[in-house]
Structures are given as structure tokens and as C-alpha cells.
Structure 1
Amino acid sequence: MKLDRNFYNRDTLVVAKELLGKILVHKINGKLLSGMIVETEAYLGVNDKAAHAYGGRRTKRVETMYGPPGRAYVYIIYGMYNCLNTITREEGVPQGVLIRGIEPIEGLDYMALNRFNKPLEELTKNQIKNLTNGPGKLCQAMMIDRSLDKEDLCGERLYIEKGIDRNFDIVEAKRIGIDYAEEARDFLYRFYIEGNPNVSKFK
């Protein structure tokens, strides 16, 4: 069952936690790529010094964040890596959740080719471990790029499914790569499934 817009139009911290265990799906070129979300980070907009929209910043890059809930916000970091976010809250409130890690489910052969230009059976244990355990890695593996910015996550191309109910413990931790964000760098806005090997960083 695909998540509907009401799922995203809620408190961002709640959405970030409840996205864990859900299934990210990308249909492209007749292929189905999917993975279970195992790690997320919440960004709380104008009052969050780590957020792109902090202080009400509204540039062409961040305009998607001000749009309706249930849209994809895809941006590039370090000039080369794509990152996927889901927009939360009502239109005009620029908050969202970064998808940091997934556990691959379908399309692993394509993911291996996308990441390492090798078939899955030729990957080393380390390469398999690093297939989708980071925001840039999972976007490369799942062929998610800037062309999907503003994509409706309630549509048919890129979306998130409810998946199977699973029992797991959620760890709350500091976000990664935001040392510039003063006190916001200490907020426990990163969430991950305890013990899952596809998490980018434990604690």
C-alpha cells in the first residue's frame, strides 16, 4: 500500500521515525528498484540551523521545500552526489526528511551496476555493505537524480510503500555532516533501525 499525502502532512519528527521500515520504490526504464528505509534525518525548516530553509531562506534550490507535502526534494551535495528528501507539513512550511540509508530488496543487480559498474556476484563484501548505506549511495544505486526534484511521491514513478509490519528498535542520534549548525548539530534528529547493517553510521 502506497503512503498517501496525509502520512507526510504531519509533524516532521514523527514522519522521520515512521518512515523507518517503509519501502522506497523507483520504477525506471521498465525496472523496479526498491529498498527498506533504515535511516532518516529530520530537518525542521526556518528554526533549524542545519536546514536549507533556515531563517526563511528561499532560493531556487530550496523552493521545493515550500511546496506541498509528499513531494521529493532532490539536491546535490559536494557538486556530485544526489540526496533524496520527502517534504512534510503543510505547503509553505519548509520541512522535510532526508532518506539516509536503505536495505536493498528488489533490483540488486541494477543497483550494483549503477554503483560499481559490476554485476552483483562480482562485488566484494565491502562493496555490498556500501551499496546503499548513505544518502548519495542510495540515490546512485536507485537512479534518483535532480530530474526527480518535485516528483509527487503519491504518483507512479517514485513512491514509498507501507511494507510489512516489522518489530525493531529505533535509535535517536545526532545528524551527520552539519558541524556548521551550532547548537542544531546536537539535536537528536537522526533515526535508524538498531543493528541494521545498512545504516551509514551507528551513533
Structure 2
Amino acid sequence: MRLTKDFYDKDALLLSKDLLGKILVHKVDGHILKGKIVETEAYIGALDKASHAYNNRRTERTAPLFGPAGISYVFFIYGMYNCFNIISGKENEGEGVLIRALEPVNDLEYMSLLRYKKSYSELKKAQIKNLTNGPGKLCIAMSINKTNNWEDLTTSEDFYLEGGEEISLTDIVDSKRIGIDYAEEARDFLWRFHIKDNPYVSK
């Protein structure tokens, strides 16, 4: 069942944990791609120097962060990769959750073609593990790009989340976020969450 607006209308820390185990769905080119969310990171603009919305920074790029809960924020990094975030909380608060890793659920053949340009049966063990275990990797494998920016996950027919497995708090690992050494005290926030022992966690 598709997740509704009420699910996303909470602060980013709560949503980051609640998203674990849920199923991301993207219908593209006649395929229905699905992946279970296994790793997330919270970003809260009001106090988080790692957030694009810190200090109420509003630009054309960051505008989706201030939108309503449940919309998609897709941004481009290193001139190479897209990253997919889900906006949480109240409008204009600048909160969101980065989806860091997925466990592929179905149509692995098409995901493999998108990610590696080769059949899933040709992949080495390391390539299978690396199919969706990072924010840029999962966007390639799930065909998520800037056309999905601002997309409403609560109303879109092609891009949305379904309810999946309920993950108990004892199976959620809290840790520091990755790649934000510039963020001063925020680099030490334990705002990264993943499902314990899942093989598709990024690091």
C-alpha cells in the first residue's frame, strides 16, 4: 500500500528511522523497479551545517527542501551523481532525509543494465553488492534523476513508497553521517541510520 502524506509529516530524525524497511517504487520504461530502504541520513536546516538549507539558505537548487512533506529533492554532486532525498516535517522548515542505500527487490536485470550496462547474470559478487549500496548508485539503478526533483511521492503514479517491513529499534544502528567533515559540530551528529547486518548498507 502506498504511503500517504501523514507518514512524511514528522521531523527528519523520526522519518529517517521510519523509512527503513519501506519500499521505494519507480515505474520507468515499462519496468517497475523496487528497492527496500536500508540506510538513511537526516538533515535539519535550522541547526545542521551539513544541510543545504542551513541558515535558511534558499536558492533555486534548495527550494524543494522548503516544500511540503513527501516531495522529492534530487541534487547533483561531483558533476557525476544524483542524490535522492525525501522532504519531511512542516513546509518551510528545510528538513529532509537522504536515501543512502537500498536492497533491490525486483527487476534486478533492468537495474543491472542501468547501473553496469550488462546482464545481472554477468555480475561478479562485488558488483551485486554494489548495485544499490550508495546514494549515487541507487539513483542510477533506479533511474532517479533531476526530472524527479519536486515530484510528490504521495500523488505520483510512477514514483512513490510502499509500506514494507517494520524494523524494530533494536535492529537500527545510529552513526555519524558520511562525507561531511566540513560541517563542524554537525559532523558528529548521530543522524545516519541503517538496518543492522544488511549487506546493502553503504559502509
User: What TM-score bracket applies, with the shorter chain setting the length?
Assistant: over 0.9
For residues 147 and 18 of structure 1, the distance between their equivalents in structure 2, rounded to whole angstroms, comes to: 26
Question: Could you give the per-residue CA deviations for residues 136-164 of structure 1, whole angstroms, max 9, x where no partner exists?
Answer: 00000000000100001012111111124
State whether residues 23 and 35 of structure 1, in contact with CA within 8 Å, keep that contact through their aligned partners in structure 2: yes
> Please, which runs of 5 or more residues in structure 2 have no aligned partner?
none
Residue 196 in structure 1 maps to residue 198 in structure 2: yes
TM-score by length of 1: 0.97
State whether residues 46 and 57 of structure 1, in contact with CA within 8 Å, keep that contact through their aligned partners in structure 2: no
For residues 9 and 90 of structure 2, the distance between their equivalents in structure 1, rounded to whole angstroms, comes to: 6
Q: What percent of counterpart residues are identical?
A: 58
Residue 182 in structure 1 maps to residue 160 in structure 2: no
For residues 31 and 133 of structure 2, the distance between their equivalents in structure 1, rounded to whole angstroms, comes to: 21
Question: Could you give the per-residue CA deviations for residues 144-192 of structure 1, whole angstroms, max 9, x where no partner exists?
Answer: 0001000010121111111244556000000000000000000000000
Secondary structure of the structure 2 residue equivalent to 1:104 = strand
For residues 27 and 35 of structure 1, the distance between their equivalents in structure 2, rounded to whole angstroms, comes to: 12
For residues 164 and 80 of structure 1, the distance between their equivalents in structure 2, rounded to whole angstroms, comes to: 32
State whether residues 85 and 98 of structure 1, in contact with CA within 8 Å, keep that contact through their aligned partners in structure 2: yes
For residues 107 and 39 of structure 1, the distance between their equivalents in structure 2, rounded to whole angstroms, comes to: 21
State whether residues 20 and 167 of structure 2, in contact with CA within 8 Å, keep that contact through their aligned partners in structure 1: no
> Please, which runs of 5 or more residues in structure 1 have no aligned partner?
none
Secondary structure of the structure 2 residue equivalent to 1:65 = helix
Taking a change above 3 Å as real, the CA distance of residues 60 and 129 of structure 1, as seen in their structure-2 partners, is same
State the AA in 2 paired with 1:160: L
Deviation at 1:44, TM superposition (A): 0.5
Q: What does residue range 50-129 of structure 1 map to in structure 2 within 5 Å?
A: 50-129=50-129
RMSD: 1.0
TM-score by length of 2: 0.97
For residues 14 and 53 of structure 2, the distance between their equivalents in structure 1, rounded to whole angstroms, comes to: 20
The alignment covers a number of residue pairs equal to 201
